[in-house]
Structure 1
Amino acid sequence: MNGPTGRSKGSARPYFFLSYAHTPRVNSRGVDPNHWVGRLFADLSEAILQITDIPAGDPIGFMDRSMHQGQKWAERLSWELANCRVFVPLYSPRYFKSEACGKEWHAFTRRSVYQRRPTAERATGIVPALWVSMDHYRLPRVASELQFSHDSFGADYAAEGLYALMKIDSYRSQYATAVLRLAQRIVDVADQTVIPIGQPLEFEAQPSAFEPPEPTDRVRISVYSYHSPELPPQRSASCYGEQRTDWQPFRPPSRRPLVEDAADVARGMGFQPTVHEFEDEAESLLTTDRATAPSVLLVDRWALLDSRRSETVRRVDRRNLAWLSVLEPWNREDQQCRDHERMLNEIGDTVLSTTRSGRQKPSLREEGSTGTPGSLDEFRGEMERAVMRASTAFEQQSNGRPVPAAPRRPRLGA
């Protein structure tokens, strides 16, 4: 019997199936971000080839290089999942939000796994790898229950993940070490277990193995912006809607409210986000000394032109609440933003003087982070850090420890 690839069912089986979340391009002209996963796949395949006696021409691994839907695509995935010897999920926040990755995990684990050695770890046939650090994310139950240690892969790998080790030249030797250790673990697990060839399943009909994490932690996201009737004459209505929470500063290419991206980031970190207009939160922010949840405020700098409403923002800013993180998304590609940047910077300096003052680099912020994301991709990274800052301060308050003043953010560098 032949599968979708033309190989017979009795032919050599690939050592591993690399399961990863496809990362979308930032724009149509950008480099394919999945290029780096492809490089990892090639390096891992070469390492396995070096430490085994796989005959030339036999498959080493499988990686889905396309995002094409359809019957042939689904049949190919099902065939590889039914035949591979080891399943290698590439952990990232995006991975555990991917329905396709959850289906791959589920399909692989429908196969029986038998241990050759009684001393081996509980057999699963799964060898996870860290694409990025997952320290601040809750793993789904199926992942958290795996008995797997990354210690032998190196401290920098555990702290940063493979993506950082690939991108930063000073980590080149650490990357080589991590890839070799991962290849050895794949081969060891393949040798220690017997996973009979399975029956290819109807891929699209499979459920995801990733149940939503328990949202035990909340985060409040508020938006200070305009709705369409409030806009000043200098500002186009294309980025605004009927509600102030409809603000879309990175349009195009993003055509959905920014707060939806913010909520997605928070959910990916294991939080339960709620979305509010700033005006609905203002009284609490002005009068409460003990917060009920960490908060993130998204500020549309254009809306600071409304002196009556911006006075409330100024008063909140002067309170310097540690559990409130402030972000000022700013689209570098927006011509109106560029044309009026100096004026809006000056207004922002006046209203957000506490937020913008000082040069001290907060301990939870990465080098080069400004709090003023200039693209949607930058915004998602800044949102993660904003949630972490607010959550850390909130936990300190809840545990009765002194809460430091909110960290000062560097001056706008966009």
Structure 2
Amino acid sequence: MPLFFLSYARIPGDRRTGPDPDRLVFDFYGALSDRVAAHAGAGGADAGFVERPHTTGEQVVRALSDCRAFVPLYSQRYFTDPRCGRQWTAITRRSAPAPAPRIVPVLWTPYPAASVPEAVHETPAVPESAGDAEESYAALGLHQLLDLEEEQALRIVDWLARRIAGTPPVHRAPSDPGPSDWAPSRLDPAGLDSAGLARLPDAFATRPPRPPLRLTVLAPSEQRLPIGRGSARYGPRPLDWRPYGPAAGGPVAEQAGELARNLGFAPEVVSFDKALVELRSVGAPTAPWVLIVDPWALQDVTAARQAREFDTARRPWTAVLTALADNDPQTTEHSERLRELLESTFPRHLREGRIGQQSAVRGLRTADVFALWFGELAESAYMRYLRYIQPRSSPPGPSTGPAPGTPPAAGAGAPGTDEGGAEARP
């Protein structure tokens, strides 16, 4: 049984073409696991559990079911990640014979108090001693401390490890199965397996209301597919398109709507034809807008022309995301031609957009990467929307002070301070 479960929000990025953007998470996990094992007197295998890119869903559910302590890495990104919200639901719903574990939050990066969901009541503790390491942790968060002041960071890691190692063990009934014959019903009487975890409600989804977020899907229906394109990922309507296959969940429009609600938006799905009416309007926009593109649709002359019009319109409150799934053999086979279509259709977005915007237009390979970049670009479109409609006033909303229980930090919650850094933010 793991002594702790490390819960973190993934940073967008292609892990196959460069350094893993979550490197510091795994570095922290390794150091924390070693120190927890030392303080708990447990040698050998890892003392904890962390989900890595190739970890199976069954392993995640087992660790959530068995862990003594749940260690979330608090950041603004963490509180908008549906995956983390479902883990929180699973942990807080856990019942006998493995009751809910102790939650030991870590201040990973400073975040606005307004970003904390209603379901979260635990705040990161700060060591009582007032040394440089403790003050830096309270002001900067552990992510930056690991990157800049390794010696100070290790003091905080050791302090966290002592808190985790002191967590009482989980007491099981004599008939309770051990990890070797684990039963998926331990978290949920109805039986929770890896698919069940994906269906759990997101504990972070309840947020103060924000304006609508318009979602438009540019994709063919199964009756109007390009010549040679298979119909397996399509349905009667463009909104039925499932670029990442049935294993990823419902249609991409539904997934985007769920992500939008998690960010506090009221999603409005509109057809591309209706969206073009607002695109051509000279009036002020009424909502930020995200266009989700199937590159196969660009083989249609009319759709390609309308998409190019979108690219040249220079509407700052809009964002473009393209799904180019790497688990779709047909898309993989024709990926070079599909990318050429995207480059000829959205040249301005690729020329003028930031790194994140360019990556989103060129094609997002997995459902996880799509979800991460959707959140980033929806937030970015929303901020540009506010600046456009209120050019001389600050964006409305609640205070963006530091997290409750966290000492004020210079620049806390400011754009670009999250763990993704300049490269990871759009």
TM-score, normalising length from structure 1?
A: 0.62
> In the alignment, is the contact (CA less than 8 A) between 1:20 and 1:90 conserved in 2?
yes
| Counterpart position of 1:116 | none
Q: 1:379 matched to which residue of 2?
A: 370
User: Pairwise mapping of residues 92-103 of structure 1 onto structure 2 (< 5 A)?
Assistant: 92=78, 93-94=81-82, 96-98=84-86, 100-103=87-90
Asked if 1:278 is matched to 2:278, the reply is: no
1:153 to 137, 159, 168: 137
Matches of 1:385 and 1:209, distance apart in 2 = 18
Specify the SS of the correspondent of 1:228: coil
Structure 2: distance between partners of 1:58 and 1:378:
34
Q: Does the residue aligned with 1:396 lie in a helix, a strand or coil?
A: helix
Specify whether residues 229 and 175 from structure 1 end up closer, same or farther in structure 2 by C-alpha distance, changes over 3 A only.
farther
- Shift of residue 242, structure 1, vs aligned partner: 0.7
Hey, what's the Cα distance between the residues in 2 that align with 1:223 and 1:277? 7
Shift of 1:151: 5.7
TM-score (norm 2): 0.61
Query: 1:113-152 residue pairs with structure 2 within 5 A?
Result: 126-129=103-106, 138-143=115-120, 146=123, 148=125, 152=136
- Partner Cα distance (2:283, 2:221) in 1: 30
Q: Is 1:137–1:268's contact at 8 Å kept on the other side of the alignment?
A: no
* Structure 1 counterpart SS, 2:323: coil
CA distance in 1, matches of 2:285, 2:381: 10
CA gap 1:265/1:233 in 2 versus in 1, 3 angstroms: same
In the other structure, the counterpart of 2:255 is 261
Residue in 2 that maps onto 1:230: 224
* Mapped contact 1:317–1:352 kept (Cα < 8 A): yes
After superposition, residues 11-410 of structure 1 pair within 5 angstroms as 17-18=4-5, 20=7, 40-48=28-36, 63=49, 68=58, 77=66, 81=68, 88-91=71-74, 92=78, 93-94=81-82, 96-98=84-86, 100-105=87-92, 126-129=103-106, 138-143=115-120, 146=123, 148=125, 152-153=136-137, 157=141, 171=147, 174=149, 177-185=152-160, 187=162, 203-204=187-188, 210=203, 212-217=205-210, 218-251=212-245, 254=248, 256-287=250-281, 289-332=283-326, 334-337=328-331, 340=334, 344-345=338-339, 347-356=341-350, 358=351, 360=352, 362=354, 365-366=355-356, 369=359, 371-376=361-366, 377-401=368-392
Q: How far apart, CA to CA, are the structure 2 residues paired with 1:368 and 1:315?
A: 18
Residue-by-residue CA offset, 1:280-307 (whole Å, 9 max, x unaligned): 3221222153222211101222222222
Q: Distance in 2 between matches of 1:64 and 1:381?
A: 18
Is the 1:224–1:299 contact (alpha carbons within 8 Å) kept by the matching residues of 2? yes
Opposite residue 32 of structure 2, the aligned amino acid is L
Q: What residue number does 2:130 align with?
A: none
Q: What SS class does the counterpart of residue 238 from structure 1 fall into?
A: coil
CA distance in 1, matches of 2:336, 2:189: 54
2:295, 2:353 → 1: CA distance?
23
Report what 1:28 is aligned to: none
Q: Could you tell me how far apart the structure 1 residues matched to 2:57 and 2:295 are?
A: 37
CA distance in 2, matches of 1:323, 1:209: 27
Q: Which moved more, 1:266-275 or 1:339-348?
A: 339-348
Among the aligned pairs, what percent are the same residue?
23
1:174-202: per-residue Cα shift (whole Å, max 9, x none)?
566435304314536999xxx99998798
Q: Distance in 1 between matches of 2:236 and 2:159?
A: 56
- Is the 1:245–1:276 contact (alpha carbons within 8 Å) kept by the matching residues of 2? no
Higher relative contact order, chain-length normalized (CA < 8 Å, sep 6+): 2
- Residues 204 and 334 from structure 1, CA distance in 2 versus in 1: closer, same or farther, beyond 3 angstroms? closer
**Residues 317 and 385 in structure 2, CA contact (< 8 A), matched pair in contact too:** yes
* Superimposed CA distance per residue, residues 199-219 of structure 1 (whole angstroms, 9 cap, x where no aligned partner): 879853699893632251232
User: 2: CA distance between counterparts of 1:196 and 1:333?
Assistant: 43
8 Å CA contact 1:221, 1:296 repeated in 2 = yes
The whole-number CA distance in structure 2 between the counterparts of 1:75 and 1:338 is 35
Instruction: Write the distance in 1 (CA, Å) between the matches of 2:268 and 2:304.
Output: 23
CA distance in structure 2 between the aligned counterparts of 1:343 and 1:241, rounded to whole angstroms? 24
* Cα pair distance change 1:74/1:235, threshold 3 Å: closer
Larger radius of gyration: 1
Partner of 1:118: none
For residues 175 and 383 of structure 1, do their structure 2 counterparts lie closer, same or farther at Cα, with a shift above 3 Å needed? farther
